[in-house]
A and B are shown apart, each in its own frame.
Chain A
Amino acid sequence: MLTAPRKLGLVFFPAFDWAISPTHPEREERLLYTQDQVFEEGVLDIEGIEEFKPDLATMQDLRRVHFCAPDEWSVVTESHLISAGGAKTIAMSVLDRKVDRGLALVRPPGHHAMRVVHGARGFCNINIEAMMVEFLRDAYKIDRVAIVDTDCHHGDGTQDIYWHDPDTLYISLHQDGRTLYPGTGFPHELGGPTAVGSTINIPLLPRTSKEGFLQVIDGIVLPILKEFQPELVVNSAGQDNHYTDPITNMNFCAQGYAQLTERLDADIAVLEGGYSIEGALPYVNLGIILAMAGLDYHTVREPDYDPVKIRQSEDTTQYIDSLVGKVIEYWRECPDILEKNRNTKKFDERERTIFYDTDNILENQRERIRVCRDCSGVLSVDSLTDRGYHIFAVHVPRKACKACQELGREWFETANLRSYDRVFLQDRLEREYLIRKR
């Protein structure tokens, strides 16, 4: 009988009765063949691999991370709460030391969901990794967390949620935004004024294959992780870099995913995208499971695997060589930029337009942050959609100084209810989540 050198916890929630729409890539069938493969390989019988039943995430879990407009139940279904709950269950199993590593194979995914939620973006309504991380911060006093997002799409939602948080390192590897949804995630996007360097973006050219991914892991991700010294490494494990994925253009493979997983050695991995449900997912998921459990995966490959056919071009290899140098160079400059921001700015603002492609909503946001010397700074978001829904939201960070907390409270109290449909307060310091309604 197989015995895993490292105990692996698994939450498997294929949500066989939930879909965005019958023919949508994110549909009932998505994890069906993965389940077939996992069952047929006898993965759940391996000594040291334990399956857990997902808990339901709570409204409190949701409020730590999101401002849901008009309210939580308008943007989530039970499936979302189970998916987020599954991530939470697996994280608890790791932190309670029931297992050494944890993997949540759940759907629907979440990494395009931003702090403000008016609807679904890129098949995501709520950010299941962020909900998991913020739960861990409250329940287990975890401080420094690194999230490495290996989904083919830029995880703009997770980036948005942690844009101003110096204690959360967010690294995203993805297909270049000029060629794929959501069109963001360039190397100069390095985090907000008080958190410069805690966001790292690594855009890859279409048809990058195993060599390129592993080079980026070794050349950028591992050195930065080593310096950041996180207490917990989370992998947003999207599987749509696969050469058979129908909605992306990369040349990654099951062996590559397994090797990446082994090198990254994340404490927790949570499934994100991946829509090649037959040709890739069963094999990629199996490779990841075996790698996380420390088991041999060298015989895991796709039926049609041909490394020569999917090998990346010489140009791509050269691009990655220079990308590694550029990203590391940017990142080295971050401490100076941070210092300069704190010396020269009192407040900082950015305005953005966010499109909810799945729900067809256009949102205009104005974000304002206090560039504080003592903490990461209180944040407000003024958000108006093309449907006329208008909210004002205040985020007091987890380690807010007294001044920032008081200012946040004041913003919340004094916001004019005649201009807004709702006013939200997310006081992470006091763990208080309040709403004022018209």
Chain B
Amino acid sequence: MIIGLDVGGTHTDVVLLGEEGVLRQVKVPTNPANLLDTVWTGLQEVKAGIHPKELDRIVLSTTLTTNAIVEGKLVPVGVIVSSGPGIDPEAFRIGDHYHVISGSIDHRGREIQPINVSEIESITSRLKKQGVRYVAVVSKFSVRNPKHELQIQETLGDDFEFVVLGHRISGNLNFPRRIATAYLNAAVYPIHKRFFNAVRQSLSTDGLAIPIHVLKADGGTMNMDASLQYPGQSILSGPAASVMGSLPFVQDAEETLVLDVGGTTTDMAVLIRDAPLLDPVGIEVARYRTLIRSLKTVSIGMGGDSAVSVAGGGLRVGPERMGRAMAYGGSVPTPTDALFVLAKDDRGDVDAARRGLEPIAAALGKSLEETAQLVFDTACHRILQAAHQMIQEINGKPVYTVHELLEGYKVNPKSILVLGGPAPFVASRLRELSDYKVRTVPRWEVANAVGAAIARTTCELTLFADTERGIATAPEEDFYQPVKSDFTMEKAVALAKELLRDKALREGADPDDLEMEIIEQQQFNMVRGFYTTGRNLRVKVQVKPGLIRHSRTITQKLNEDLTAAGTGTTGVAG
């Protein structure tokens, strides 16, 4: 059995999955001040009476690191940066301990200027004096040659608790993002470590020494050891959980839009057949642009608890949330209240909801029912509009070859999968308002926790080879191998896949469940003085984000629930 747990802004969802599908589902209110307590309560409830031996693993998706970043609760991090020619690295200053040092490497990984060890020694002693325990080390083009970052790490010695090296984070080029990503990984390290150690200890006191996996923003999982090395990868895994939870329910359609309508926000993503679309560069969180691999998701400030008001004679819904719906004891009317007025929901205080919307109706000069309908429709229209905009943005992405431009693949989803609290109501209205084929995800209330539970371990790897310089290198793995001029694309791909396999297994993948694919493959002849002097090869491979093999029986069961409910359009929570 697998436990899936997803910490949301309002609720924390926990499910217990077995061969028969969802065995248990639990929803506990999230206490942002004590996430450990929240997680612990959820786990206790879901596993009550289950024998430890029956549990295979736990997958956690938490907002811990995200919250720390958004709220600025980050530990001091020493950032050591070497740039060489280009944009002034002062432009990327981050944190209170940012140091620019000499040293430079060019786009092919050739050393232009060595680093100066005495500079680093003096920074080391300063950081120590200031009590800084975490360090990020980043040099420009370190993904083409990590030599300088490694030398700096060596000079830093063993005096720091955690040192992040830029080239280990991602094979992608982007120096400013590499700086921000290394910084964030270091800055959330202690809080992440403390939390997961606490979870592990609590579980083992209960006799549960089972593997703990962490959900990543790209919709894959990693084991705890890997997550301690790269805690930043757990940032913004919430939307990924809902996308993975929707994946089993994609039907016949080529492309599907996933909408997770929560209390505060609606998160949206695109599935192309059974593969979620990934962000080409990396996640953006609290104005930090990073190289953290993530699903392409868009989040808008429009959810069940968005504040409803009248501004300039017109209706305004969202983007901010001011507590819960009035039907649940809040003080500001919300789209959820509108659903109560429209008698679509009756699990709260209908009178409070009506009271909340009355002043709005008066200001608009409409009846209460008309106003409620307007509130709800406004919310639905905003969601559709944002979805449309996201699709346009995806299709407007620049391309770099003639082939890509002419064969330009356009995303054009025809169906929508909805999950989250108000899913069935939103789904049925969207069906009326648009041409989309709209369905709810079975168990729409906890589908995100299901998604976390059944997500496969993923990873990515970039391999560069430069036969003129005679090297092949996979920077994320600190892999370096001399190659001869006969090193072909075929060999490069084979090598990249071999390295990827090792990495995936180390991060907790099931050896029989590695769906590897090439995501980028480029080869250039290098010509100098009218003679071909070598080849420049670039290969990027990944373990595809997807669902674990034995999730099939579970999701089959969920699909049967869906079929049993008839059209599958009204959401059938257990």
Residues of A within 8 A of B (CB): 1-2, 11-18, 22-23, 27-29, 32-33, 35-37, 39-43, 45, 51-54, 56, 77-79, 82, 246, 278, 282-283, 286, 290, 295-296, 298-303, 305
Q: How far is the CA of A307 from the CA of B526 in the complex (A)?
A: 28
Q: How far is the CA of A57 from the CA of B173 in the complex (A)?
A: 31
Known A40-B140, A53-B396; contact A283-B401, beta-carbon cutoff 8 A = no
Q: How far is the CA of A16 from the CA of B401 in the complex (A)?
A: 5
B389 in the interface (beta carbon within 8 A): no
Residues on B with C-beta less than 8 A from A53 are 396-399, 405
Q: How far is the CA of A283 from the CA of B399 in the complex (A)?
A: 22
B400 in the interface (beta carbon within 8 A): yes
Most buried by A among B84, B398, B524, B526: B398
Q: How far is the CA of A302 from the CA of B113 in the complex (A)?
A: 12
Residues on A with C-beta less than 8 A from B174 are 39-40, 42, 45
Known A23-B531, A300-B86; contact A40-B107, beta-carbon cutoff 8 A = yes
Nearest to A43 among chain B residues (CB) is B87
Q: Is the CB–CB distance between B87 and A29 below 8 Å?
A: no
**Range of interface residues on B (Cβ < 8 Å):** 35 or more
Residues on B with C-beta less than 8 A from A32 are 524, 536
B249 in the interface (beta carbon within 8 A): no
Q: Is the CB–CB distance between A23 and B85 below 8 Å?
A: no
Q: Is the CB–CB distance between A79 and B402 below 8 Å?
A: yes
Q: Is the CB–CB distance between A41 and B175 below 8 Å?
A: yes
> Residue-by-residue, is B93-109 near A (CB-CB < 8 Å gives 1, otherwise 0)?
00000000000101110
Interface residues of B in 303-355 (CB under 8 A from A): none
Q: Is the CB–CB distance between A14 and B532 below 8 Å?
A: no
Nearest to B110 among chain A residues (CB) is A303
Q: Which of B140, B176, B400, B526 is the one whose CB lies under 8 Å from A14?
A: B400
Please give the distance in Å from A35's CB to the nearest CB on chain B. 7
Known A16-B400, A22-B525, A53-B399; contact A82-B85, beta-carbon cutoff 8 A = no
Q: How far is the CA of A269 from the CA of B281 in the complex (A)?
A: 27
Known A36-B173, A283-B85; contact A27-B527, beta-carbon cutoff 8 A = yes
Q: Is the CB–CB distance between A28 and B107 below 8 Å?
A: no
- Sample of 7 A–B contacts (CB below 8 Å): A33-B107, A42-B176, A45-B281, A52-B396, A283-B85, A300-B85, A303-B84
Q: Is the CB–CB distance between A303 and B106 below 8 Å?
A: yes
B88 in the interface (beta carbon within 8 A): yes
Residues on B with C-beta less than 8 A from A35 are 400
B91 in the interface (beta carbon within 8 A): yes
Nearest to B397 among chain A residues (CB) is A53
Residues on B with C-beta less than 8 A from A295 are 87
Q: How far is the CA of A18 from the CA of B80 in the complex (A)?
A: 40
Residues on A with C-beta less than 8 A from B531 are 23
Please give the distance in Å from A109's CB to the nearest CB on chain B. 16
Q: Is the CB–CB distance between A36 and B107 below 8 Å?
A: yes
Q: Is the CB–CB distance between A18 and B87 below 8 Å?
A: no
Q: Is the CB–CB distance between A13 and B400 below 8 Å?
A: yes
Q: How far is the CA of A40 from the CA of B104 in the complex (A)?
A: 13
Q: Which of A27, A40, A56, A298 is the one whose CB lies under 8 Å from B141?
A: A40
Please give the distance in Å from B528's CB to the nearest CB on chain A. 9
Q: How far is the CA of A246 from the CA of B108 in the complex (A)?
A: 19
Q: Is the CB–CB distance between A303 and B405 below 8 Å?
A: no
Please give the distance in Å from A161's CB to the nearest CB on chain B. 25
Q: How far is the CA of A16 from the CA of B527 in the complex (A)?
A: 15
Please give the distance in Å from A305's CB to the nearest CB on chain B. 8
Q: How far is the CA of A43 from the CA of B91 in the complex (A)?
A: 12
> Residue-by-residue, is B369-382 near A (CB-CB < 8 Å gives 1, otherwise 0)?
00000000000000
Q: Is the CB–CB distance between A52 and B398 below 8 Å?
A: yes
B129 in the interface (beta carbon within 8 A): no
Known A15-B401, A40-B173; contact A45-B289, beta-carbon cutoff 8 A = yes
Please give the distance in Å from B22's CB to the nearest CB on chain A. 41
Q: Which of A12, A29, A36, A41 is the one whose CB lies under 8 Å from B400?
A: A12
Q: How far is the CA of A18 from the CA of B406 in the complex (A)?
A: 13
B287 in the interface (beta carbon within 8 A): yes
Nearest to A297 among chain B residues (CB) is B87
Please give the distance in Å from A93's CB to the nearest CB on chain B. 12
Residues on A with C-beta less than 8 A from B108 are 33, 278
Nearest to B522 among chain A residues (CB) is A16
Residues on B with C-beta less than 8 A from A290 are 87
Q: How far is the CA of A301 from the CA of B403 in the complex (A)?
A: 34
Q: Which of A11, A29, A296 is the one whose CB lies under 8 Å from B527?
A: A29
Please give the distance in Å from A13's CB to the nearest CB on chain B. 7
Q: Is the CB–CB distance between B530 and A303 below 8 Å?
A: no
Residues on B with C-beta less than 8 A from A12 are 398, 400
Nearest to B86 among chain A residues (CB) is A41
Nearest to B523 among chain A residues (CB) is A28
Known A2-B87, A37-B86, A53-B398; contact A28-B405, beta-carbon cutoff 8 A = no
Please give the distance in Å from A24's CB to the nearest CB on chain B. 8
Q: How far is the CA of A273 from the CA of B211 in the complex (A)?
A: 58
The 7 A-B pairs with the shortest beta carbon distances in the complex, nearest first, are A42-B176, A39-B173, A36-B107, A40-B173, A303-B112, A17-B401, A299-B88
Q: Is the CB–CB distance between B527 and A23 below 8 Å?
A: yes
Q: How far is the CA of A41 from the CA of B84 in the complex (A)?
A: 11
B168 in the interface (beta carbon within 8 A): no
Q: Is the CB–CB distance between B526 and A17 below 8 Å?
A: no
Residues on B with C-beta less than 8 A from A29 are 524-527, 536
B511 in the interface (beta carbon within 8 A): no
Nearest to A18 among chain B residues (CB) is B402
Q: How far is the CA of A257 from the CA of B561 in the complex (A)?
A: 67
Residues on A with C-beta less than 8 A from B289 are 1, 42, 45
Residues on B with C-beta less than 8 A from A82 are 402, 405
Q: How far is the CA of A77 from the CA of B85 in the complex (A)?
A: 37
B167 in the interface (beta carbon within 8 A): no
Residues on A with C-beta less than 8 A from B526 are 29
B177 in the interface (beta carbon within 8 A): yes
Please give the distance in Å from A287's CB to the nearest CB on chain B. 10
